[in-house]
Amino acid sequence: MDLKHLHTFKVVADTRGFTKAAEQLSYAQSSVTTQIQALEEELHTRLFDRLGKQTVLTEAGQKLLPYAIKLLELHDTAVTDLTSSLTIPSGTLTIGAPESLAAFRLPAIIHAFTQRYPQVKLILRPGACRMFRNLISMGDLDLAFVLEPELDETQLHCETLALEQMALIAPPSHPLAALERVDTLDLKDVSLLHTEPGCSYRALLEHHLASQRIYKSSDLEFWSIETIKNCVIAGLGISLLPLVSVRSEIESGKLIRLPWDDSPCRVATQMVYHPDKWMSPALQAFINLTRSEAASWR
C-alpha cells in the first residue's frame, strides 16, 4: 500500500469529508478521490460511505484505520531515527590497533569519545599492523591505527599523527648502561627481547642488525609489551620499544634508555581508513577527536 494513499485515507477519516481533507492536504478534491479509489481497488473493498453530506467509514474502513495509523507512525519513527543518525553520532565503530598504541596512545581518545558520544559502541580489535590494511580494504574495519614507517598507499588514506621515538631499554645495572654511546655492534652478544613477529619496529631492528652482519638465534619473543618491560627490569635482556610505552618506567628509574641511535628503526603512528568509505557522523567525530588529541603527541 502506498503510504501517501494511507495518509490521505486517514485525513479523510479524521475530517469526515473529501473536501475538508483536500483543503487540509492542499490537494485538489479529485486527487483525494483518485487516491482513495486506488486504495479501494487494491484492497477490493469500499472504505467510505457518503451519506448525504457525511462521509463515514465502512466496516472495512474501520478495520483499516488502526493499521494505517500504525504504518504511518512506523514510517515517521523510521524517518526520525535515520535522519537523526545522520547528524548525531550513533551506531558501531570497529577500530584496529596494535597493543602499543591501544595501551599508550588510544585510551585518552576512547575515554573522551565515549563521554561525548555514549550512543556509539566502540569495538577495538588488536592485531598486526599489516593485517589491518587488508581488513580496511575489505571493509571489515572502519578505521585502524598502525605503527610503521610512513606509508605510501594509493588505495588507502594514511595520515601520520606522530613520528615515534624508539627506546633501546635496559635495567640500570646492565653493562651497556655504563657506555657513553652504544654502537649497533655492541648488541651482538646481548640478549634481545622481541615483540611478536609482524611488528614493524622488530622487523626494522632485525634488518638493521643483519646489515651489520649480526644474526642472533638466542633472542626471546613475547606477545605482551608489559611482559617485555618486566623481563627487562628483571635482567633477562634489553629490548627496543616505542618511547611512549616505556616513558614512565624510565622516569621512575626502573629502566634506562641506552644511548643508541634509533633512526634505522623509527616508525610513525598513522591513522588509516578507506577513502571511499561512507564518513558517518560517528566515524567523522572519532577522526576529528583523534586529530585534536594527536596534536599533543608531536
CATH number (domain holding residue 29): 1.10.10.10
pLDDT at 85 over 60: no
pLDDT at 51: 84
Query: Which of 85, 111, 145 is the last residue before a domain boundary?
Result: 85
Residues 77 and 116 reside in one and the same domain: no
3-state secondary structure 32-59: HHHHHHHHHHHHCCCCEEEECCEEEECH
The secondary structure of residue 238, as a DSSP letter, is B
Residues 60 and 138 reside in one and the same domain: no
**Sign, Cα dihedral of 162, 166, 172, 177:** negative
Number of separate helices (H) and strands (E) present in the chain: 11, 12
Give me 57's grid cell.
467509514
pLDDT at 86: 59
CA dihedral 253, 258, 261, 267 (to 10 degrees): -50
- Return the percentage of the chain with pLDDT > 70, whole number: 98
Rounded-to-integer distance, Cα 129 and Cα 239, Å:
20
Residues 261 and 173 reside in one and the same domain: yes
109-113, 114-118, 151-155, 176-180: segment of lowest average pLDDT: 151-155
Which own/partner contact pairs does 69-75 have at CB distance under 8 Å and 24+ positions apart?
A: 69/10, 71/1, 71/3, 71/6, 72/3, 72/6, 72/7, 72/10, 75/3
- CATH, residue 221: 3.40.190.10
Buried b / exposed e along 44-71 (16+ C-beta atoms within 10 A): eeebbeeeeeebebeeebeebbeebeee
Give me the residue label for grid cell 605503527: 147
pLDDT at 189 over 80: yes
Range of the domain at 73: 3-85
Of 26, 13, 111, the residue nearest 64 (C-alpha): 13
Residues 39 and 72 reside in one and the same domain: yes
pLDDT at 223 over 80: yes
Angle at 291 between CA 265 and CA 108, to 5 degrees: 85
Residues 39 and 53 reside in one and the same domain: yes
Residues 155 and 171 reside in one and the same domain: no
Query: Which of 85, 110, 145 is the last residue before a domain boundary?
Result: 85
Residues 99 and 233 reside in one and the same domain: no
Residues 150 and 280 reside in one and the same domain: yes
Residues 59 and 144 reside in one and the same domain: no
Instruction: Count structural domains, the chain.
Output: 3
Query: Which of 60, 85, 110 is the last residue before a domain boundary?
Result: 85
Average of per-residue pLDDT across 73-79: 85
Pairing of strands 256-257, 239-242: unpaired
Residues 143 and 226 reside in one and the same domain: no
pLDDT at 84: 58
- This prediction's pTM: 0.70
Average of per-residue pLDDT across 124-141: 89
Rounded-to-integer distance, Cα 52 and Cα 72, Å:
30
Confidence of residue 174 (pLDDT cuts 50, 70, 90): very high
Residues 204 and 138 reside in one and the same domain: no
